[in-house]
Amino acid sequence: MNQKKDAFAEKEMGKPADYSLIRKLAPFASPYKGMMLFSLLLILVTTVLEMAAPYITKEAIDRYIVPVATGRSEEEGGRHLSFSLEEGHVNDIVAKHPQVFAIDFPEATITYEDMQRLPSGDIHRLRQDDIRGVGRAAVLLLIIVFLNFISTFVQVRLMELTAQKIMHDLRLKLFSHMQGLSLHFYNKNPVGRLVTRVTNDIGNMHEMLTSVVIFVVKDMFLILGITIVLFVIDWKLAMGVYAVFPAVFYAAWRFAGTAREAYRTLRIKIAEINSRFSETIGGIHILQLFRQVNNNYQAFKKINHEHYRAGMRQVTVFALFMPVIELMSSVALAVVIFYGGSRIIGGRLSLGELVIFISYVRMFFRPIRDIAEKYNITQNALSSAERILLVLEEKDRLPEPDAASSLPVPGRIETLSAENIWFSYSPDEPVLKGVSFDIRAGSTLAVVGPTGAGKTSLINLLLRFYDPDSGTIRINQTDVRLFNSSELRGRMAIVAQDPFLFSGSIKTNIFPPGEGTSTPDEGQIDRILTQSQCKKIINRLPDGINTDLNERGGMLSSGQRQLISIARALAINPEIIIFDEATSYVDSETEASIQTALLHLMAERTAIIIAHRLSTAKIADCILVMHNGKIIESGTHDELIRAGGFYYRLVEAQA
């Protein structure tokens, strides 16, 4: 049970501040700060345009629709409209209806109540300037809407481009960093978890950049601008509206803390689900064979239920927060209508000013209502950022010499030696104990022993996938840690017991393209395929060497994959070739083909053979016999047979 928990459970994390995560991610945005600044400028323009629409409505009401008369004092009561007697059509209408107009040259004033008693044609003639003013306001509103559309379109495209570039760089950085980590890291991290980092978590970061960052900045501009305008228009009414805000901010603060924890749990459970699913797909035949499908289903069901519970906690918080904000919005509007309406009745506030208050209050609560959605996205993204940064800050990699102290790999590897090697995967559980040997260029070394003796671990050290806990591995009497590991591995090749083939054509598996790799000609291809015994296999395939393989080369048999891996090793022309149980999974006929291919591969090369089938070990110049992490015997095949020891008993057992 502990092993299963360690395999799928995510690492427990602290509670870093959001600004800390953003600060660590800032270098990825730095190359695109010019684009981001221009996008922010467009946001400012968009915000101003959005705020202008209610203000134009207010001006249209107060100037043209319900204008306040300047010719009468407030004490005279009522609401009036004033017209200039210098205009001919006004004089005509006043002459027709002198009883409803108050003359105070050069103006004539009429109350709203008396205006309604006039014929509609006369009303239209009297207010034709107001009608034109309303038309100008409508045209101005259309222009603002159009400009707002253009600026929003450009800003969204620009920010989307910026976000895509940042995520492109972040994904490449993460992928590159992960490729450089040691095998220790991959031993303790399931594949599904790492896939989640590069796919889902990066996607969440992209959503935050495109949906949150811009809207947060826009909402800040909007809230600040609305606050200023409301206080300028009527600071007393504005104070009444803002009296409800402490309750709003308290609700938002409580929501933030609860939602953060729910989203952290969601990210953890998604990674665990991916890990479990990945292992299930990889081992489905074993699950079905050993009738473990139901047990595996129950384990997946438990993880899935925990994900469901975390999701429901997040939904519950969201469902509670939104009605609270709607309630506060309604309270603020009630304050505006009651207090603002009384001030209109008292003549201390115009109808347009009340309308703009209502519009701005609704606009003000829109970004606050968006907090729930945007905060959901933000917390989801920040939870992903924590996990991404956890990988990026991972230091589990083999130490490499710096450029000044790095030594070039010798032109020819004359000797390969191990001196008193101790190694363990877990503390206090050594798998290699004081291993020492020497092998000279052109010779063959065989390593034999029962399963668990430490043979494969020794190969991992020779290829420098790991460094020994103590002792030294040397090439030409120089510690291999002084060489660049990539250059060192370029001089070696391995044919593993279960070769890994990539999806793609057989040709790209044998002759992978890359820096410093020349394109082979037809003669080279034919020679390598012939020596590796691959020609018969490839000739039977419909597209020959260009046949596409599925994942891990599953369409080929184990022996065919072995032969292709031998061809791949021949193609790089290594100095040291390693065979790790190269004939352990094949039949006798295929083994003969593999043995022939191995002889071609071993010709004039230093070879290290690890085998359970001791027929391969017979050809070695020296055989190391390992048991429980130690070398207990060494010598040629004949010498070890004559000694009658552990090796002799292994041969007898196989016979």
Q: Where does the pLDDT of residue 144 fall: very low under 50, low under 70, confident under 90, or very high at 90 and above? A: very high
Whether residue 276 is predicted with pLDDT greater than 90 in this model: the reply is no
Whether residue 228 is predicted with pLDDT greater than 60 in this model: the reply is yes
What pLDDT digit, counting tens, does each position of 527-562 carry?
Answer: 888 888 888 888 888 888 888 887 667 678 778 888
pTM for the model stands at 0.69
Kindly state the helix (H) or strand (E) to which residue 420 belongs, with its residue range: strand 415-426
414 three-state secondary structure: coil
What pLDDT digit, counting tens, does each position of 407-418 carry?
Answer: 888 878 899 999
What pLDDT digit, counting tens, does each position of 241-258 carry?
Answer: 778 777 777 776 667 666
Counting residues of the chain whose pLDDT is more than 90, the rounded percentage is: 11
What pLDDT digit, counting tens, does each position of 426-481 carry?
Answer: 888 899 999 999 999 889 999 998 888 888 889 889 988 889 999 999 999 889 88
* Cα–Cα distance, 511 to 533 (Å, whole number): 16
Q: What angle do CA 188, 194, 195 make, to 5 degrees?
A: 145
What pLDDT digit, counting tens, does each position of 104-129 carry?
Answer: 777 788 777 777 778 878 777 877 87
Q: Where does the pLDDT of residue 568 fall: very low under 50, low under 70, confident under 90, or very high at 90 and above? A: confident
Instruction: Specify the pLDDT at position 418.
Output: 93
Instruction: Specify the pLDDT at position 71.
Output: 41
- DSSP H helices, 517-623, are 522-531, 535-540, 558-572, 588-602, 614-617
* Cα–Cα distance, 209 to 22 (Å, whole number): 11
Contact indicator for 495, 569 with CB cutoff of 8 Å: yes
Q: Where does the pLDDT of residue 588 fall: very low under 50, low under 70, confident under 90, or very high at 90 and above? A: low
- Mean of per-residue pLDDT scores for the chain: 80
What pLDDT digit, counting tens, does each position of 483-505 carry?
Answer: 888 888 888 888 887 788 887 88
Per-residue H/E/C for 90-143: HHHHHHHCHHHCEEECCEEEEEHHHHCCCCHHHHHHHCHHHHHHHHHHHHHHHH
* Cα–Cα distance, 517 to 511 (Å, whole number): 9
Tokens 């220790």 -> residue: 184
Q: Dump the DSSP string for 378-401.
A: HHHHHHHHHHHHHHHT---S----
What pLDDT digit, counting tens, does each position of 148-182 carry?
Answer: 999 989 988 888 888 889 888 998 999 888 888 88
Residue 427 φ/ψ, nearest 5 degrees: -55, 140
Q: How far is CA 408 from CA 403, 472, 481, in A?
A: 10, 18, 11
Q: How many CB atoms lie within 10 A of CB 128?
A: 12
- For the segment 47-74, the average pLDDT, to the nearest whole number, is 74
Whether residue 315 is predicted with pLDDT greater than 80 in this model: the reply is no
Contact indicator for 253, 380 with CB cutoff of 8 Å: no
Whether residue 624 is predicted with pLDDT greater than 90 in this model: the reply is yes
**Within 13 Å and on the Cβ side, how many CA atoms surround 331?**
15
Whether residue 211 is predicted with pLDDT greater than 60 in this model: the reply is yes
What pLDDT digit, counting tens, does each position of 316-340 carry?
Answer: 777 777 777 778 778 888 888 888 7
Residues in the chain, overall count = 655
Domains and CATH numbers, the chain: 2-63+132-392 (1.20.1560.10), 413-489+621-636+645-655 (3.40.50.300), 491-618 (3.40.50.300)
Whether residue 46 is predicted with pLDDT greater than 80 in this model: the reply is yes
Instruction: Specify the pLDDT at position 423.
Output: 93
Of the two residues 588 and 606, the one the predictor is more confident about is 606
What pLDDT digit, counting tens, does each position of 454-463 carry?
Answer: 888 898 899 8
Q: Dump the DSSP string for 316-354.
A: HHHHHHHHHHHHHHHHHHHHHHHHHHHHHHTTSS-HHHH
